[in-house]
Amino acid sequence: MSPSSSARAEKNALGDETGGMSVLDLPELALECVLERLPPAGLCSMAGVCTSLRERCVSDHLWEKHMKHKWGRVISPAAYREWQWHLASRKDLGSCKQGKPKWFMRLLSIFWPSSWSTPKVDPVNNSRQRSSLPVNSIMSWYLALETGKFWFPAQVFNRENGHVGFMLSCYDAELNYDPRTDTFQASFFFFCKRCCFYVKIMNGHGKLRAPSVDTSPHDLHISDYLHDLLPGDHIEIQWRRNKEFPYGWWYGVVGHLESCDGNENYCRCHNSETVVLEFHQYTPGSRWRSTTVNRKEHREEGNEADGFYGGIRKLYNNEEVFRWKRLWPTEVLE
């Protein structure tokens, strides 16, 4: 039987059940508009009605906006690569002919309507069929994130829930979402990934971001824009306690040289090879208040007492600067 004949048969069957028109009787554009306005749970419920609606409701273009709205700020290309590796490593995926893999059936049964995991009646052949969802789809990725079945890489602002030693910093972690409490569990690695510890993150979406650069936290980020830095520019700089630890990103601003009085009309700091970086969250006189780097030859600099400063990012996006300022400590740090 052709697809169009099957769709007509489903329309007739649904019409018989409802005693009149069904949603499949809507014009194509109207039906698409209805589906675009459904929340994720609504799409899942609608997909359990019949084969025709299921094929529409699992479509990537419907789930792209939900993924972007809920996860767009924390999901990066690195997270997508992790997801692809996760799929490739599953031993029980099976072929498409075998239906959904067992792990994905368990995932759906935890959070979404039971209609997805029960056989459907085919109104044409009067037979029972199981739902089929492409595992490598945006919907399946969204469900894996939403149900906490997938750990993904992201960065955490002010880790350890605002501990004074990590104020205005951002560290790489593996994260897992808990839908029951709307919190995240973060796994932080140190000592070159030989050890890790876990932290529960409240109000997670406000404290997370996708990695700003595709650089491992154990590698030095290559600074490309040091020649552009001017006093007043906002920056992030890598810093680590010692060479066994991974880098975190710390917020700061470009300052003036000691020989400059800060007058814009006479400032020549941009002509100097030395760049002053200031961290105003610390009190004047604190050893963490400022540091200097060489504009032309900057690599990792520092020592075991004060830690090691690495690569630098200039912040061009006002939204990035605003996110840092929202996390500003209520008291100046020592």
What are 297-316's pLDDT values in tens digits? Answer: 899 999 998 999 999 999 99
Q: Do 75 and 199 sit in the same domain of this protein?
A: yes
Residue 130 domain-assigned? no
Q: Do 75 and 185 sit in the same domain of this protein?
A: yes
Q: Do 76 and 158 sit in the same domain of this protein?
A: yes
Residue 319 domain-assigned? yes
Residue 54 domain-assigned? yes
Q: Do 192 and 251 sit in the same domain of this protein?
A: no
Would you say the C-alpha torsion 191, 248, 211, 270 has a positive or negative sign? negative
Q: Do 75 and 165 sit in the same domain of this protein?
A: yes
Residue 246 domain-assigned? yes
Residue 11 domain-assigned? no
Q: Do 257 and 193 sit in the same domain of this protein?
A: no
Residue 142 domain-assigned? yes
Q: How many domains does the chain have?
A: 3
**Range list of β-strands (E), 89-191:** 120-122, 127-129, 152-157, 169-178, 183-190
Q: Please give the pLDDT value at position 250.
A: 96
Q: Please give the pLDDT value at position 198.
A: 64
Q: Do 200 and 301 sit in the same domain of this protein?
A: no
Low-confidence ranges of the chain (pLDDT < 70): 1-20, 91-134, 160-164, 191-199, 201-205
Q: Which of 331, 237, 247 is nearest to 291 (CA)?
A: 237
- Domain span at 47: 26-58
Residue 90 domain-assigned? no
Q: Do 76 and 188 sit in the same domain of this protein?
A: yes
CB–CB of 289/282 below 8 Å? yes
Q: Please give the pLDDT value at position 264.
A: 86
Q: What is the pLDDT of residues 222-259, one digit of tens each?
A: 998 899 999 999 999 999 999 889 999 999 999 999 99
Q: Do 238 and 205 sit in the same domain of this protein?
A: no
Q: Do 156 and 260 sit in the same domain of this protein?
A: no
Q: Do 74 and 175 sit in the same domain of this protein?
A: yes
Q: Please give the pLDDT value at position 191.
A: 60
How far, in Å, are 176, 220, 285 from residue 256 at the CA level?
A: 42, 25, 16
Q: Do 179 and 53 sit in the same domain of this protein?
A: no
Question: Hey, what are 43's tokens?
Answer: 């799409």
Q: Please give the pLDDT value at position 52.
A: 87
Residues 6 or more apart in contact with residue 9 via CB below 8 angstroms: 1, 123, 124
What interhelical angle do 60-71 and 138-146 show, nearest 10?
30
